[in-house]
Amino acid sequence: MGGRISSETNIAENLPLKRLTGEEAISDNDPFWNTLLSFNLKIDDYDTAEARAFDESLNDFLQSLMYNTQTSGNFAAFIRVFLRRSTELKTSEQYEKVKLVLMSREKGFGWGTLLWV
């Protein structure tokens, strides 16, 4: 899923952001995080007015998050999810390197390939 920021983008109606910044607690195992983290918007680096308007449209969400996270704990849950996923990604990258080394050995590339990895 993805999108591009445009005049039609109404960030105020973004349901995942509303839920994240709301009063309801979200468990760090909730599938919600998949939805939130899979959404992306592309910002045109050269259109500063558009980027500024987007930043300003997030102000209400940030205020709500600061206020509600004391009771919902959603910011802490987000940090836990981020740390877990970054660890999973790092483990996955290490696994791919080991797999590459093993495949290289099987094909007879020798130590030169092992040192290169």
Res 112: pLDDT: 43
21 within domain boundaries:
yes
93 within domain boundaries:
no
pLDDT, tens only, 81-100:
999 998 888 888 777 766 66
42 within domain boundaries:
yes
Domain that holds residue 17: 3-85
100 within domain boundaries:
no
108 within domain boundaries:
no
pTM of the model as a whole: 0.67
pLDDT, tens only, 52-69:
888 888 999 999 999 999
Give me the chain's average pLDDT, please.
79
Instruction: Kindly give, in sequence order, each residue whose CB lies less than 8 Å from that of residue 112, ignoring residues fewer than 6 positions away.
Output: none
Res 102: pLDDT: 60
Instruction: Provide the number of structural domains found in the chain.
Output: 1
CA distance 14 to 25: 18
